[in-house]
Each structure stands twice: as structure tokens, then as C-alpha cells.
Amino acid sequence: MQDDNYGKLISSLAKVNDKRICLLVMDGLGDCANGSKGTALQIARKPNMNQLAGQSACGLLLPVGTGITPGSGPGHLGLFGYDPTVYVVGRGVLSALGVEFDLQNRDVAARLNFCTVDAQGNITDRRAGRISDDENRRVIAKIRADLKPPKGVEVFFETEAEHRALLVLRGDTLDDNIGETDPQTTGVPAPRADRPPYNQSRTAKIVAGIIDQVGKILADEKKANFILARGFAKAPNWPLFPERYQLKPAAVAGYPMYRGVARLVGIPVVGQPTTAADVCAGAAKALADHTFVFAHFKYTDKTGEDGDLDGKVRRIEEMDAALPALLAAKPDVLIITGDHSTPPSLKAHSWHPVPVLMAAGHLRGGQAPAFDEVNCRGGEIGTIPSHHLLPLAMAHAEKLEKYGA
């Protein structure tokens, strides 16, 4: 691991007080112009966010670095103040922690997508039509009943949500040098986990054999007839959020992966809301007993990945309508942002900087007439690495000592 000098500095300056910070993450919030239509934030009717923008510090965040498209794990780690180029973890660990799997040091975990392949083995739908949770559980049970684990290795399949699932291998001398089998596109076959250079890994060969078995077990399924695996990883040993920042944290997050990234850094989950109204109500409730609350809303990302601009606009408007319940809790610092951008025109995560709004004391005055990507460009925060945002919030909450004499 690289040295984390900035993180260590912030940790050395952190001090305790009763002021409360709320981080509201609208997943995949950032956008591009979608041709000439504008971004979802520009189109959406959002009077509460726009009013906040005029009273707040605004800016843009670089989740990892200029031009780099982040995954959800790095995107959230940055928002928690962990430099994602230093703290690197595979998606499988986050999925395991998200479903509260008892991950051990002998385990290797991977995130799965159920997918649909045609008779030639080419992927036609990476998400198997977004099957329901119940359908996911049925298919998982089918795999568990028929799979023959390799000698000396325990194999666990667990439902995550919709088309997402978890694979965990447990055994001695397992490694995570395994090729990802999700090509992130359709019309092609899934690459093998034991392709060169991964064919030198015993664990990669085990995984390839398991996937071959699953393909045969699910061959008669209409939608979820194959699996794609990515994010193979072992659990890391990192500094935990409460000690690092001297904060009493809590998370309210409905989707397992985001509960997982919170638990990874020691943020306990106190609620699992999914709707905008429940997310804001859950965050307000958590603020009564915690000095840092992470609140997560998934659907701005989901609609972006589906290419549904109108749907993304509606989800933003839902959150705007729900905001008064959170504002009534009067957090001392309120941040509204995303973990990455998901433009509907791309149907995927992108490299575009993410808009951010921070309502707090001791500001220089709001300049933005509305909360969107264009107005945030000229805001007080400027364009900063996302892992600098939490220290900025702590400074506005008077939670950082002076540095030096």
C-alpha cells in the first residue's frame, strides 16, 4: 500500500465535538448534456436543492482522478476520506460485507451478475432482465443443490439483490489473482477466469471450473442462465473511520453493496431504506445519535445505467421533495453529491466530475443559482479530489485542530 500522508495528517488533527455532518449520496448523480437535452439535474424541478445551492458552497469532485471512470467502491471510499488510489479493494469484499457474510481470512469473494447468454454462449443481457430478489433466491438454491465443490474448498453462493449475487471460496492457499469474467458489454462470450496470465493461479482454475458447472446447472433457465464474476478480493486491514476521524458514524443504505463499503471502514448500518422519503427520514433519525451520517439513494444510478433520462429526472425530483424531512434535523454540515457520474446517454459510469453542494457555517456566500454540473463549476469549493471533501466538511464543523505552530 502507498503511504497515506494526507489521511494520516487529517487523523492527527481530528477532534471531538457535538456538531453533526450528513453526507447524502445520490448514486451516479453526475451527468453530461445528453445531446442537447441537458443534464438530469438541469432538467429536474428541484426548488429545495436550488435554494440550498444559493446558500451553500458548491463545486465538482474528482472521484479518482481526471479522466478516470470510478467503480462504486472507489467512488464511496473517496467520499469517506480514503484516497481510492491508496485504498484498493475488490467489489467482492463489499458485496460480502453488504449481505453480512462472515468473511474470514481464508476467503476470496467475488461479485456476480446473473446474465443471459444465447445458444452460442454470447451475452445478450448482462443483468438477466433485472430478475427479482425472489427469482435470484430460487436460482441460487438451484446452484447450491447441484454444485459439486472442488476438494478442499468450500463454495458459498448468496443472493445480493435483483441480478446481483455473491460468490465466496474458502480454503487454504487461495489467492485473488483471478481474471474477471464480465466483459462489461454484450454480443461476446464471457472470458474465462483462468485465461493467461491468470492460468498460473490454482484459484483461477478452480473458479473457471465452478463457472463451467454453473453454466450447465442453469442451462434450462430463460433469463438467468449464466454468471459473470468480477472484483475477486480478500478482506483488507485498514484504519477504521470512527478512530481515523473521531466521529460517531452511521449509515442508512438500502442496497447491500453500499452497506458493505460502509462496514468495510467501520461505519455501522442503522437503517436500510430505499425510497427517497425513507432515506431522508432515516438520515434525520440517525442524526439524533451520531455525528456523521452517510445516507445512500440508489435510483439516480439505476436509471442512468438503464439509459432512462426521464426516470433519472424523476428520481432527482423525488429526492428534492423528500429533503425537508432531512433539513428539519438541522445537520451542522449537509453534503449532497454522488459517488460518480452515470449519464443516461452512456448507460454506464463515466469520468465526468461530480457536482457537490455543502451547506454549512462559515461559508463565503453562495454563488450558484441552481444545483447542477454547470453552476457548480464556478462554486466556492472548486474542483477537488473527492477524498478532500470530508476533511473540508470537518473543518466547517470545527472538528480539525490547527496544523503547526
Give the CATH number for residue 193: 3.30.70
Task: Tell me which of 176, 204, 233 is where a domain ends.
Answer: 233
Q: What is the pLDDT of residue 298?
A: 97
Residue 405 covered by a domain: no
Q: What is the pLDDT of residues 278-334, one digit of tens each?
A: 999 999 999 999 999 999 999 999 999 999 999 999 999 999 999 999 999 999 999
CA distances from 174 to 112, 169, 192 (A): 19, 8, 18
Let me know how long the chain is: 405
The answer on 148 and 79 residing in a single domain is no
Q: What is the pLDDT of residue 90?
A: 84
The answer on 380 and 244 residing in a single domain is yes
Residue 116 covered by a domain: yes
Give the CATH number for residue 329: 3.40.720.10
DSSP per residue, 84-146 = TTTS---HHHHHHHHTT----TTEEEEEEEEEEE-TTSBEEETTTTT--HHHHHHHHHHHHHH
Taking alpha carbons only, the member of 288, 291, 225, 236 closest to residue 263 is 236
Beta-bridge partners for 333: 21
The answer on 276 and 347 residing in a single domain is yes
Number of structural domains (the chain) is 2
* Region of poorest pLDDT, from 15-24, 206-215, 253-262, 279-288: 253-262
The answer on 100 and 66 residing in a single domain is no
Q: What is the pLDDT of residues 175-193, one digit of tens each?
A: 999 999 999 999 999 999 9
Task: Tell me which of 233, 257, 283 is where a domain ends.
Answer: 233
Q: What is the pLDDT of residues 97-153, one digit of tens each?
A: 888 898 888 999 999 999 999 999 999 999 999 999 999 999 999 999 999 999 999
The answer on 372 and 264 residing in a single domain is yes
Structural domain span for residue 112: 95-233
The answer on 385 and 246 residing in a single domain is yes
* Region of poorest pLDDT, from 19-33, 359-373, 377-391: 359-373
Q: What is the pLDDT of residue 189?
A: 97
Q: What is the pLDDT of residue 1?
A: 58
Residue 402 covered by a domain: no
Please compute the mean of the pLDDT values over residues 383-404 and round it to a whole number. Answer: 97
Q: Which residue has the higher pLDDT, 405 or 190?
A: 190
Please compute the mean of the pLDDT values over residues 19-31 and round it to a whole number. Answer: 98
The answer on 287 and 218 residing in a single domain is no
In this predicted structure, the answer to whether residue 365 has a pLDDT above a threshold of 80 is no
Residue 78 covered by a domain: yes
Dihedral-angle region of residue 352 (phi above 0 means left; psi in -120 to 50 means alpha; beta otherwise): beta
Residue 404 covered by a domain: no
Q: What is the pLDDT of residue 345?
A: 95
Please compute the mean of the pLDDT values over residues 395-404 and round it to a whole number. Answer: 97
The answer on 115 and 59 residing in a single domain is no
Taking alpha carbons only, the member of 151, 198, 172 closest to residue 107 is 172
Q: Which residues have a Cβ under 8 Å from the Cβ of 161 and sit 6 or more positions away? A: 133, 136, 255, 256
Residue 139 covered by a domain: yes
The answer on 199 and 166 residing in a single domain is yes
State how far the Cα of 267 lies from the Cα of 72, in Å rounded to an integer: 17
Beta-bridge partners for 61: 354, 384
Q: What is the pLDDT of residues 222-248, one digit of tens each?
A: 999 999 999 999 988 899 999 999 999
The answer on 301 and 204 residing in a single domain is no
The answer on 144 and 29 residing in a single domain is no
Residue 43 covered by a domain: yes
Q: What is the pLDDT of residue 228?
A: 98
**Going by DSSP bridges, is the β-strand pair 226-233/107-117 parallel, antiparallel, or unpaired?**
antiparallel
Residue 226 covered by a domain: yes
To the nearest whole number, what is the mean pLDDT of the chain? Answer: 95
pTM, rounded to two decimals: 0.82
* Grid cell digits, residue 12: 492527527
State how far the Cα of 201 lies from the Cα of 181, in Å rounded to an integer: 15
The answer on 282 and 183 residing in a single domain is no
* Region of poorest pLDDT, from 100-109, 161-170, 246-255: 100-109
